[in-house]
A and B are shown apart, each in its own frame.
Chain A
Amino acid sequence: MPLLRIEGVAKSFGNFRAVDKLSLDIRAGEFFALLGPSGCGKTTLLRMLAGFETPDEGRILLGGSDIAQVLPHERPVNMMFQNYALFPHLSVRDNIAFGLKRAGMARKDIAIRVAEMVALVKLEGMEKRKPDQLSGGQRQRVALARSLARRPQVLLLDEPLAALDKKLRESTQGELMELQRRLGMTFIIVTHDQEEAMTMAGRIGVMDAGRLVQVATPRNLYEAPASRWIAEFVGDINLFNGEVAARDHGRLTVKTTEAGTLAVSELWPPVTKQVVSVAIRPEKVKLSRRAPATDAGASQAINRLEGVVIDVNYLGGVTSYRVKLETGAVVRSSMANTARLDVDAYLAGQRVVAWFTADDCLVLEQ
């Protein structure tokens, strides 16, 4: 039995179906991310878990009992709000103690727990400050400490890092993961930032139009997206539309209009449709001046596309290239800058061969 089971939950606002018969199991101690574009229903789902919205149908089982209709203040679940929602008239200490006082904890125990929480988020010495006397990062920590203080069975985090700048966001991601591991608590985070979800979560649920379209580990989500939409939503990808021309021992030959005939390894479950897209991530497209060695001796088929570099973007760790093929289609490639000197760099206007193996390709149905 999972800690949290969401069963056929649906919620509409007027005619807008925000969450559409969604089911999901979340295990105890898991770091789960709900990822999706804005308006996909991820925040509504989170708010139903917190109790701020009531599902129109379906059940939400926490430890076996249905909490779908339980009021927020009676749920063993806490939420960290996107804007932190710190009480401006209360000090850091009183903000953290707020939930403990409501739980009727003894004064002495509250003091101990607050001190513990303050230490946990490294805010020693700030206890008496009001929220407006804190920096954005410190406010974020107070919000975290406040939501953790009651030791909820599940901690819900609504875009917890959205208000922080990039550097702070990255270090806080690490701290959140560390904290979650140390406390063994179940975290459910809502984010629109796929990098954030990939970095922190053990599993990611991708939502679109109120439905879960894929639940997978970050690696599977990236390397084996379930649909063309997910492939495009998570990371960058080159897509070539075509038709399956031949099928032979797990190897497909796809005739594309833009990139000629491509050899692709077939994934499980096999594609059933004739019209498909071949997808290849830019970092799996290599560039070279001459075509690489023939297939003889190579364990798998290699696809080669000849073209001209039209765009070079140096990004520090990687350089991304855009290569225009003879058909007019553009292939993106990103190559790691493994050497300091640019011996391997290509220049705009240069003729190159963009190549990738059959195993690196994905076949996606439309």
Chain B
Amino acid sequence: MSARRIFARPARLAAIAPYLWMVLFFLVPFGFVLKISLSQTAIAQPPYTPVFDFTEGRAALAAAFAQLSFDNFRLLISDNLYILSYLRSLVVAVTSTLILLLIGYPIAYGMARLPQRWQGVAMMLVIVPFWTSFLIRIYAWINILQHDGLLNQILLALHIVSAPVVWLSTDSAMYLGIVYSYLPFMILPLYATLSKLDASLLEAAGDLGASPLQAFWLVTFPLSLPGVGAGALLCFIPVVGEFVIPDLLAGSNSLMIGQTLWLEFFTNKDWPVASAAAVALLLLLVPPLVLYDRLQRRQLAANR
């Protein structure tokens, strides 16, 4: 056996590994969800029908397959509840992403311009909140925002307000929670691109007559767009499906799709509709992902 073959085999295995992972932990489960989304609710265990039974022969399997239908997807389109949930999810995700960008960009920019030895410290400060459980941090916010919470106490003590303000169970509280939780995901990719930016490019811009502000808009910002894209996507996609933050901090008058999904699944025990909603959500997220991938590719081609 030649040396090449000995080395080629583990290399090929390594190349297959990520695909194997994707098949095992994404495609196969997605197949289950897709199948359930095409089934009907049943008061049974599992709570849907048909159930594919591979022991009953080919005819029974074909009959079960014939029972699958798109009814649940039709329901999603016909019932306002779902469409409104999707819309609200999109609005919340877009708004949150914009706020995150507005807050995260200056922070990342400032971090990238710190002296080298302080950059690590700043990075730690961004990451440190992750050491506490996400749920505990959200509960802490409830404590701060509730009627007799820290925020109202401070405002009252400073005589800024005369009566406690309702913070909790509002959209503001939800946005606060989302921005607080997702900020590191915006900062880190932005910081990664901004810190790689060649400082001599800004000097060149200045040398050619650009004021510092012009240099920022003409050089720094366009060159940081890959980081903006990555950060925006890292925030946008999970926020669309966010369940915990709106459930704990927002009011109950309008639901995000994650909450609707949860209700269908756990309260209504309607697995098929919940699955259909999940599949629809996934399809909804495909266009921005494809767009991002295309941008990324163009960037890579340009950087070659």
Contact = CB atoms under 8 A, between A and B. Distances in A.
Interface of A: 50-52, 71-74, 77-79, 81, 83, 85-89, 98-99, 102-103, 130, 132, 146-147, 150
A72 to B, nearest CB: 4
Interface string B197-220: 010110111111111001000110
Given A130-B302, A132-B302, A132-B304, A85 B206 contact: no
Contacts of A81: 200, 203-204
A72 B205 CA distance: 9
A85 B303 contact: no
Interface of B: 198, 200-201, 203-211, 214, 218-219, 222-223, 302-304
Nearest to B225: A89
30 contacts: A50-B203, A50-B207, A51-B207, A52-B206, A73-B208, A73-B210, A73-B211, A74-B209, A77-B207, A79-B204, A79-B207, A81-B200, A83-B200, A86-B204, A87-B204, A87-B205, A88-B223, A88-B303, A89-B222, A98-B218, A99-B208, A99-B209, A102-B209, A103-B209, A130-B302, A132-B302, A132-B303, A132-B304, A147-B208, A150-B209
Given A87-B201, A150-B208, 16 more contacts: A52-B207, A71-B206, A73-B207, A73-B210, A79-B207, A85-B198, A85-B200, A85-B203, A87-B219, A88-B303, A98-B205, A98-B208, A102-B209, A102-B210, A103-B209, A132-B303
A98 B304 CA distance: 23
Contacts of A88: 201, 223, 302-303
A129 to B, nearest CB: 11
Contacts of B200: 81, 83, 85
Contacts of B198: 83, 85
Nearest to B211: A73
A77 B209 CA distance: 10
Nearest to B301: A132
A279 to B, nearest CB: 40
A78 B214 contact: no
B219 A72 contact: no
Contacts of A102: 208-210, 214
Contacts of B214: 102
A146 B210 CA distance: 14
A52 B203 contact: yes
Contacts of A130: 302
Contacts of B206: 51-52, 71-73
Contacts of A146: 208
Report which residue of A51, A73, A86, A130 has the largest number of chain B beta carbons within 10 angstroms of its beta carbon.
Answer: A73
A150 B207 CA distance: 10
A296 B219 CA distance: 74
Contacts of B302: 88-89, 130, 132
A103 B211 CA distance: 11
B222 to A, nearest CB: 5
Report which residue of A50, A71, A98 has the largest number of chain B beta carbons within 10 angstroms of its beta carbon.
Answer: A98
B223 A89 contact: yes
B151 to A, nearest CB: 44
A315 to B, nearest CB: 37
Contacts of B205: 87, 98
Contacts of A89: 222-223, 302
A78 B207 contact: yes
A94 B208 CA distance: 12
B9 to A, nearest CB: 36
A50 B205 CA distance: 12
A261 to B, nearest CB: 56
Nearest to A98: B208
B98 to A, nearest CB: 23
A135 B205 CA distance: 22
A130 B208 CA distance: 19
A42 to B, nearest CB: 17
Nearest to B204: A85
Nearest to B199: A85
A95 to B, nearest CB: 9
A132 to B, nearest CB: 6
A359 to B, nearest CB: 48
B14 to A, nearest CB: 30
A72 B211 contact: no
A56 B138 CA distance: 52
A120 B203 CA distance: 24
B62 to A, nearest CB: 57
B209 A73 contact: yes
Contacts of A52: 203, 206-207
Query: What are the 4 tightest A-B residue pairs by CB atom distance, in nearest-first order?
Result: A99-B208, A102-B209, A85-B204, A85-B200
A27 B184 CA distance: 55
A208 B302 CA distance: 42
A125 B42 CA distance: 70
A79 B205 CA distance: 11
A130 B211 CA distance: 24
Nearest to A158: B200
A50 B204 CA distance: 10
A62 to B, nearest CB: 15
Nearest to A72: B206
A358 B199 CA distance: 54
B158 to A, nearest CB: 43
